[in-house]
Amino acid sequence: MKIVPVILAGGKGERFWPLSTPENPKQCLPIVSDQPMIVDTYNRLKDFDDFFIVANSFLCDKFRKLLPENVNYIEEPIARNTAPAIGLACITLLQKYGDCIVFFETADHYYEDISHYIKDIKNACTFASNHDKIVLIGITPKNPHTGYGYIKSGSNVENDLFLVDSFKEKPDLPTAQKYVKDGKYSWNSGMFIGKSSVILHEIEKSLPSLFSGLQNIKEGDFSKEILHDEFSKFEKISIDYGVLERSNETVVLQSTMPWDDIGDFNAVSRILKPDSEGNFSKNPIHSLDAHGNIIISKKLVALIDVEELIIVDTKDALLICKRSESQKIRDIIRKYNN
């Protein structure tokens, strides 16, 4: 059965401000490598015959300047979170190819071992092609991370595949420590794989109004007018909350591949190698008694007797904050934008 990777690339990247802006969001930036994140994502999956990206028209135009011409785009008229975006992708692919295996990935993941990543994805695709199940990619936790949701595994299906027992919201530290010790919990990576028909059937069961709108889009030959009209009616809802957490047709592949979600500046410290004083920067810095700082700047930055700071310098803005308070970056954006 044909396998089609679909990249969800419509995020704003607010937690990477001021590096990431609405005009140039993090997907278009070289955060942890020398390439924009969307290019790294494409390069991991370019050996598949077809490759699709879901985003708004503005971002799709930016991606066209960064990626080869053979990339396909599905343009969202209005942002409505992941459930409508994924539903639109599934009806588009079903119309184009007939039933196929769809692998949903995002543009902000980092993988240290690409061969391990591809092996696990192909194993999940093989299972999905032989069963009417949706395969979630869970990551065996390396530490009690409080920034990820968790998936609890039930009974074993085969090899590293288990029935999904339940989903857990982002836990506090004591709860995360229990999850890691228990051994039945995986980080919810957000990746999942299934037949386009199976995913649409689960949408129909859990979100019938969304499914009805998707059918209207298909029957209207995907015209821009009908697409915009239906999307304007869709509820803003994630695929996890709206569909996957309500489904009885999910399994989880417990993967040990080295994985990271590049969700905020602290992710930089998990990927870049520190200097002799434990600071993280892609460019040279000068430091004296300064430890654990994350610096993103094209200028030379000198640090004296400071620790655990995030310092981001761009042509338009300068950000300085404690690493422990990085979640407040979105708050300051919203405070001054309003």
* Burial (Cβ within 10 Å: 0-12, 13-18, ≥19) of residue 180: middle
pLDDT tens track for 9-24: 998 889 999 999 999 9
For the chain, the structural domain boundaries read 3-261, 267-337
**Which distant-in-sequence residues (6+ apart) come within 8 Å of 276 by Cβ?**
none
Distance CA 321, CA 310 (A): 5
Residues across the chain: 338
Rg from Cα positions in the chain: 21
pLDDT tens track for 166-182: 999 999 999 999 999 99
* Burial (Cβ within 10 Å: 0-12, 13-18, ≥19) of residue 274: middle
Closest CA to 329 of 303, 310, 306: 310
Is pLDDT above 70 for 268? yes
Is pLDDT above 70 for 338? no
Q: What are phi and psi of 277, to 5 degrees?
A: -105, 10
**Where do runs of H (alpha helix) occur along 234-318?**
239-242, 267-271
Distance CA 17, CA 333 (A): 8
Question: Given pLDDT bands bounded at 50, 70 and 90, which one contains residue 201?
Answer: very high
> 3-261: what fold?
Spore Coat Polysaccharide Biosynthesis Protein SpsA; Chain A (3.90.550)
pLDDT tens track for 229-246: 999 999 999 999 999 999
From 57-71, 233-247, 308-322, 323-337, the region with the lowest mean pLDDT: 323-337
pTM to 2 decimals?
A: 0.94
CA distances 163 to 154, 155, 166, 220, Å, are 5, 6, 9, 38
Q: Give me the pLDDT at residue 314, please.
A: 96
Distance CA 270, CA 280 (A): 9
pLDDT tens track for 252-266: 999 999 999 999 999
Mean residue pLDDT of the chain comes to 96
Residue the block writes with tokens 């993941």: 109
Mean pLDDT confidence for 280-302 = 96
- Quick one: what percent of the chain has pLDDT higher than 90? 96
Pairing of β 150-158 and β 185-195: antiparallel
Question: Given pLDDT bands bounded at 50, 70 and 90, which one contains residue 92?
Answer: very high
DSSP states of 128-193 as a string? HHHSS-EEEEEE--SS--SSS-EEEEEEEEETTEEEEEEEEPPPPHHHHHHHHHHS-EEEEEEEEE
Q: Give me the pLDDT at residue 12, please.
A: 86
Q: Give me the pLDDT at residue 336, please.
A: 84
Closest CA to 206 of 169, 250, 167, 239: 239
pLDDT tens track for 202-233: 999 999 999 999 999 999 999 999 999 999 99
**Which distant-in-sequence residues (6+ apart) come within 8 Å of 49 by Cβ?**
2
Question: Given pLDDT bands bounded at 50, 70 and 90, which one contains residue 6?
Answer: very high
pLDDT tens track for 134-191: 999 999 999 999 989 999 999 999 999 999 999 999 999 999 999 999 999 999 999 9
Mean pLDDT confidence for 284-294 = 96
How many beta carbons lie within 10 A of that of residue 165, not counting itself? 14
For the chain, the farthest-separated pair of C-alpha atoms sits apart, in whole angstroms, at: 65
Q: Is the peptide bond before 18 cis (omega within 30 degrees of 0)?
A: yes
